[in-house]
Amino acid sequence: MRPDILNPLFALVATLPGVGPKTSPLFDKALSPPHGGPARVADLLFHLPHSGIDRRSRPKIAEASHDGIVTLEVRVVDHRPPGGRNAKAPFRVLVEDDTGDLLLVFFLANHNWIERSLPIGATRWVSGKLELWDGHLQMVHPDKVLDEAGLAKLPPVEPVYGLTEGLGQRAVQKAVEGALTRMPPMPEWIDGPLLAQKRWPDFAHALIALHRPEGPEALDPQHPARLRLAYDELLASQVALGLMRARMRRLGGRASLGTGRISNSILAALPFRPTGAQEQALTEIRADLAADVRMLRLLQGDVGSGKTLVALLAMATVVEAGRQAAMMAPTEILARQHYERMVPLAEAAGLRIALITGRDKAAERSRTLAGLEAGEIDIAIGTHALFQESVGFRDLALAVVDEQHRFGVHQRLALGSKGEAVDILVMTATPIPRTLVLTYFGDMDVSMLREKPAGRQPIDTRAVAIERLDEVVAGVGRAIQAGARVYWVCPLVDENEDLDLAAATERRDVLAQFFGDRVGLVHGQMKGREKDAAMEAFQRGQTDILVATTVIEVGVDVPEATVMVIEHAERFGLAQLHQLRGRVGRGSGRSTCLLLYKAPLGQVAQARIEIMRETEDGFRIAEEDLRLRGEGEVLGTRQSGTPGFRLASLDVHGALLPVARDDARMIVDQDPDLASERGQAVRLLLYLFNRDEAMKLLRAG
């Protein structure tokens, strides 16, 4: 049960003064509550102003600046309404002080409102921007027209909030003021010494400082109040992950001790030695498999760093212990590719391996499922078809999940529930910045592959203006004559699949004029079989050029492909450009990546292209991507259950994350039931930041 102290913050925004049946749905839309229900008071309080209007400058008319907002004390001298044939002219009001005068200008104005608000002879305060027009000083549509009582309520810096159509600033400001009055006194969940060292305010005063800013500096992401709230959100996330991890540990595991018999046969069949990074990762994974606690490990490697081999050797280890393994890939192309890569090595080592996808024929599928249940198949590779109810294992020990961020957390756990105490290894070929690893995968141990296998050549990356397209096409022709195969990736068009497809189809047609039927096409709207056929034709060399949308971004492996052309490279994120470039340079030949761009380049696009030319280190590229784009976009497709921070911005507040993680570990280690005084306060924090799942784990023990 949620503690009663939080009830005022979990009341609906619709209960606040000034929020009626018409505006309530607008608040729901503007606040986009992460819990998916109607907006609550807490959602509104976490909807921080993105900027502020500084109304502290209160000069005399003669001294007033013309390049910012001023608030002037004036006397109303004269009304000059439009008259005669010029009825659409503005209503002007002449005002003055001891140093000069100016005109207030109102277009299409309500005359009654002007006469009521600015009676002749009255003193008023007007706030807005001054400008010179036809030699006379004027203020067009003042933001504020106030009497003395109104001035007393005018904030020195007026907060400006993100809105949705139909919702005005005044409505949000009024609702926020109502929400602030409902703040209950909260116990402190931040560690006392840390709070003192950072000089952060308490939770309530932090929110007040940001919604009632006393100066523009209060809206800086590094302001103590904002840092405090960012830390609260990060701590809630880390405690929730820590509780999940502790529960996994408490559930216990089953030790799988390999003999090395199958693994050694696989290694003997390889034409190369594994890299030091692969050997280190395998040592870490085998230590987890041999322990009696469940493994939950993330294996992240740069493009082409050899994750598949590590996964195969890990699966071989559990088969040596007399048990089974499964590997889940996000697409059929990738599942089939993993299968085809592993089959020759598996056969050499006597491993029985099967592929399960949604397209299997009924008889073939029945045979495979029966073999799995009887233990006659050691390793199953497939798509999400693997965790359908009909799929059962005799004794599943290890589940490998490829490209984790394409799957939800629930899907990962569903595969893990196919056996008793299943160990889970998650792989990603998208290098992830350290802060995001802590945030999204904080319940996991991490192994990293930073080395490329021996014999891989560096990729020559060049930026070419789109105006030189003819030269690029001619260069592609020469490369094909020399035996190369070429990827040609077409631009992202406003994240619109239909337009992406149109761009790719048009480029295929243009290239076909030069290269005939040697040009293939693959895109996301093709049926699975068509996609596979287009990829297969390219792999076998039946086509020399494969025009594609970003469907080829992850995993597809054609060692003969040595040229990558990325059209409108300025439209892609850094991580995407790096993934696409990683489709070439997979064999021993020299490879080239051409980034075609349309000038002039924006600052961010220019920075991306320069970084791509400077380095092939995916981990450095990932850190730069985070800096340029922020955490919301870096991981691409959002998985179910991702943090989606509202107050913390990882590119700004990332340095707080390791502190929050260490603190969360101490909390969970020392007080796993959150029963202490601080533990009870942390419970409130978890509810406030929608980490209710963690509370369910506590109750489940």
Q: What is the 3-state secondary structure (H, E, C) of 167-183?
A: CCHHHHHHHHHHHHCCC
682 found inside a domain: no
User: Max alpha carbon distance in the chain (Å)?
Assistant: 101
Q: Does 416 fall in a domain?
A: yes
Query: Helix, strand or coil for residue 80?
Result: strand
Q: At which of 154, 185, 211 does a domain end?
A: 154
- Enumerate helices (H) and strands (E) in the chain, giving the number of each: 27, 22
Task: Assign residue 512 the CATH number of its domain.
Answer: 3.40.50.300
- 188 and 142 fall within a common domain: no
Residues 294 and 413 in one domain: yes
Q: Are residues 169 and 150 in the same domain?
A: no
Specify whether 72 is located in the same domain as 37. Answer: no
Determine how β-strand 123-129 pairs with β-strand 144-146: antiparallel
Cα–Cα distance for residue pair 593/563, rounded to 1 Å: 6
Query: Do residues 317 and 351 both lie within one domain?
Result: yes
311 and 410 inside one domain: yes
Q: Is residue 48 located within the same domain as residue 78? A: no
Whether 311 and 411 map to the same domain: the answer is: yes
Cα-to-chain-centroid distance, residue 694? 22
Residues with Cβ within 8 Å of residue 368, at least 6 apart in sequence: 354, 355, 356, 360, 377, 380
Q: Report yes or no on 248 lying in a domain.
A: no
pLDDT at position 633 is 47
Does residue 667 contact residue 242 with C-beta atoms inside 8 Å?
Answer: yes
The stretches of 569-642 forming alpha helices (DSSP H) are 574-581, 603-614, 618-629, 631-634
Q: How far apart are CA 281 and CA 616, in angstroms?
A: 21
Say what the pLDDT of residue 249 is. 74
> What is the structure's pLDDT at 637?
34
State the residue for tokens 């939770």: 203
Q: Are residues 312 and 194 in the same domain?
A: no
Residue (of 584, 553, 337) closest to 485 by Cα position = 584
In what order do the strands lie in the sheet containing 485-489?
A: 459-465, 591-597, 561-566, 485-489, 545-548, 519-522
Determine the structural domain holding residue 520 and report its residue range: 459-615
> Both 35 and 175 in a single domain?
yes
In a domain, 255, yes or no: no
What torsion do the CA atoms of 526, 527, 533, 535 make, to the nearest 10 degrees?
Answer: 50
Residue 409 maps to a domain: yes
Strands, E, within 536-587: which ranges? Answer: 545-548, 561-566
How many residues appear in the chain?
701
Residues 184 and 36 in one domain: yes
- The bridge status of strand 157-160 relative to strand 379-382 is unpaired
Residue 622 dihedral angles phi and psi, to the nearest 5°? -65, -40
Total number of domains in the chain = 4
CB 372 within 8 A of CB 290: no
Nearest CA to 128 out of 170, 67, 219 is that of: 67
Reference 49, options 173, 164, 155; nearest CA is 173
| Distance from C-alpha of 338 to C-alpha of 423, rounded to nearest angstrom | 20
Taking the model in full, what pTM does it have? 0.71
Residues 6+ apart with CB under 8 A from 321: 256, 257, 258, 259, 289, 397
Question: Domain of 74: which CATH number?
Answer: 2.40.50.140
In this predicted structure, what is the pLDDT of residue 698?
Answer: 65
List residues bridging with 301 in a β-sheet. 449
DSSP 583: T
| 45: in domain | yes
Is residue 620 a part of any domain in this protein? no
Domain end: 154, 172, 207, which one?
Answer: 154
Identify the pLDDT of residue 640: 34
Give the pLDDT score at 334.
82
In a 3-state reduction of DSSP, which class is residue 388? coil
| Residues sharing a CB contact under 8 Å with residue 356, sequence separation 6 or more, in sequence order | 365, 368, 369, 380, 381, 382, 383, 385, 386, 391
Pair (167, 192) in one structural domain: yes
Regions of the chain with pLDDT less than 50: 494, 554, 632-643, 701
Q: What is the DSSP secondary-structure string of 242-299?
A: HHHHHHHHHH--------SHHHHHHHHH-SSPPPHHHHHHHHHHHHHHHSSS--EEEE
- What are the start-end ranges of the H helices in 630-676? 631-634, 650-653, 656-670
